[in-house]
Structure 1
Amino acid sequence: MEYSISKAQEEIGKRVIVSIRIKETDQEEYFKGFWGTIHSAYEDGLLVLVEGGSDDKYEMLPPDFDFLVPAKHEHYEFMDGSIAENIDYELYWTESSEAKNL
């Protein structure tokens, strides 16, 4: 589905969990993540009010509905032991400073 602000506004209030795989080199990788509630919608993406997993108050999601995968579990546990519950969507992506590492 093509991203539009009107469609994105329908997602406000939904809870998301985000898992980001970060590849520094061909061999080195680590994971980070956060969870929260979609707070508002903009041309450049969805603004999430962070509830855990990040020190930032807000995080921005890309303007792409394909990332919004319905949640499969009732709760999710992070490596630090925190638990996120009542999640509507799971989001997964990979980041790298170099395309060759993706």
Structure 2
Amino acid sequence: MDTSQPGTRRPLVVTLTARPGREEVERLCARLAAAPPAEVVCEAGALAPAGLAAVDALARLKLAATRHGHRLRVEGAGPELRALLRLTGLDETLGL
């Protein structure tokens, strides 16, 4: 992580591909485990289609972030993914 001003850190940014596989999610979770506690921005704009695999990936990242003292914020989620997250009750958990 870079520092933009003394004493402040820029968020750690993780980006999910269109169809994240188990290996990708595990790699991103390991990256969170290795990083000092920080704000994490998860770029979800590429997730397509908005299905349960996308929901699973976001839920796993949220769990890993919380376990390691990070605050996760999801950005770029499209309307279909947002609707699916609302239906599963994860919209509030993910801060959408």
**TM-score computed with the length of structure 2 as normaliser:** 0.24
Return the index of the structure with the highest Cα Rg: 1
Structure whose residues are more often strand by fraction: 1
Q: Which has the higher helix share?
A: 2
